[in-house]
Structure 1
Amino acid sequence: MSLPISRHFFTVAEFERMGQAGVFSNDARLELIEGEIIEMSPIGTRHAACVKYLSRILNHKVGDVVLVSTQDPIRLNDFSEPQPDVALLKLRDDFYRNAHPTPGDVLLVIEVADTTVEYDRQVKAADYAKAGIREMWLVNIPAERIEVYADPVAGEYRIVNFYQRGEDVKSHTFAGLSVSVNDVLG
């Protein structure tokens, strides 16, 4: 006799209570995606360098009008709280001290992927699109390109652009914002 497998999906509130109760080790790198607790991959040197570059250049280019957030949680809904590598958020006087940003606060998310390209492209991009995040960039380290996803409709991005080495990524959210693929990838 086979028994059905039962899965329990966690809410953001449950996930946060588990963290506060010490269920996870202090150095655990976890995020909640569609109710599932996902262990994030270790951060490699190329990944870390891309995040540092993006943080620096975005702070320089748009840091006076937005908050550049690095590897911090965003509450998409009751079942998803990803930690994008970089996010551009609406400025707030409290710097989101009382609550994590929600989709209405997010202008752009950037995921840097070395070993998680397919997961980020299929699962996380869909989660961001369903939440109405206007623009997502995927820094695809193995392919040496940056993929831009914009204009979410019915849980999918209608605009998809690929930028290769030698090109500049052009944002759909910020007129005039461009970033060199060569500089991001090193």
Structure 2
Amino acid sequence: MSHAPKTVETYKLTVRDFHALFPLLDSDQRHELLDGQIYIMPIPGTPHVRALRRLERQFLRHEGPGLCIWAGGLILSEHAEVWPDLMLREAEPPEGAPAALPAQVKLLVEVSDTTLHHDAHKKLWDYHRAGVAEYWVLDVQGRQVLRYLPPSYASEAFVSGGPPLSPQAYPDVAIDVGALFS
């Protein structure tokens, strides 16, 4: 008979486990997997949706060969899959392709109305570790865009009335930050 102390064990879900659980999850909620844990994300409110649509309209003026606006899953690792608000890719994935991989994403955008701390801290470092080329957080309440670039992923803020913001992969695409929040 063993008298060894018992310890609490945890189990990190894989992306495969996460997908198997989809039928059991509340379909009215948004779910993401980070570090093997399921996060229930808030449903986007009107300020979130408004800022995202305004950004999409600015990008749509430039969409064409080499620039594809995409919303869908992104597999960061064996234990992480997220659903960013918007990604820029070089092309649409083939029909039936699984979620995107970080190397396929030129820009990843999260709109933060109520999730700024999560997006600018937890997700930031997960995206950095996965090798995301460029990450923007649209801070709806602060009326600014926070841009993060490798190698340090130090933040650079772009505010209303300031210079236009361009993704590194698409320097000819100028985003009017003020128009996102007005």
Paired letter, 2:83: Q
In the alignment, which residue of structure 2 is the partner of 1:80? Answer: 80
Give yes or no for the alignment of 1:163 onto 2:155.
no
Cα offsets for 1:127-180 (capped at 9, x unmatched): 1111111100000112111010012x3xx51x5311111122232222222211
Contact 2:32 2:39 in 1 (8 A): yes
Alpha-carbon distance between aligned partners in 2 of 1:113 and 1:80, rounded to the nearest angstrom: 20
SS of aligned partner of 2:78: coil
CA RMSD of aligned residues (A): 1.8
In the alignment, which residue of structure 2 is the partner of 1:127? Answer: 126
Alpha-carbon distance between aligned partners in 2 of 1:143 and 1:67, rounded to the nearest angstrom: 28
Q: 1:179 to 1:88 in 2, by over 3 A?
A: same
Paired letter, 1:13: R
In the alignment, which residue of structure 1 is the partner of 2:20? Answer: 17
Alpha-carbon distance between aligned partners in 2 of 1:145 and 1:6, rounded to the nearest angstrom: 42
Deviation of 1:6 after TM superposition, in Å, equals 3.3
Contact 2:70 2:92 in 1 (8 A): no
Alpha-carbon distance between aligned partners in 1 of 2:10 and 2:60, rounded to the nearest angstrom: 41
When normalised by structure 1's length, the TM-score is 0.87
SS of aligned partner of 2:165: strand
Cα offsets for 1:29-79 (capped at 9, x unmatched): 101112110001121101001111122221222344222113x21111111
Q: Superposed, which structure 2 residues align to 1:96-107 within 5 Å?
A: 97-107=96-106
Q: Superposed, which structure 2 residues align to 1:1-186 within 5 Å?
A: 4-19=7-22, 22-70=23-71, 72-92=72-92, 94=94, 97-151=96-150, 153=151, 156-157=152-153, 159-167=154-162, 168-186=164-182
Deviation of 1:7 after TM superposition, in Å, equals 2.8
List runs of 5+ in structure 1 lacking aligned partners. none
If each structure's strand is expressed as a fraction of its own residues, which one has the higher value?
1
Deviation of 1:92 after TM superposition, in Å, equals 4.0
Alpha-carbon distance between aligned partners in 1 of 2:8 and 2:64, rounded to the nearest angstrom: 48
Percent identity of equivalent pairs: 23
Deviation of 1:3 after TM superposition, in Å, equals 6.7
Deviation of 1:5 after TM superposition, in Å, equals 4.1
Contact 1:54 1:86 in 2 (8 A): no
Alpha-carbon distance between aligned partners in 2 of 1:118 and 1:99, rounded to the nearest angstrom: 29
Alpha-carbon distance between aligned partners in 2 of 1:139 and 1:160, rounded to the nearest angstrom: 12
Deviation of 1:13 after TM superposition, in Å, equals 0.6
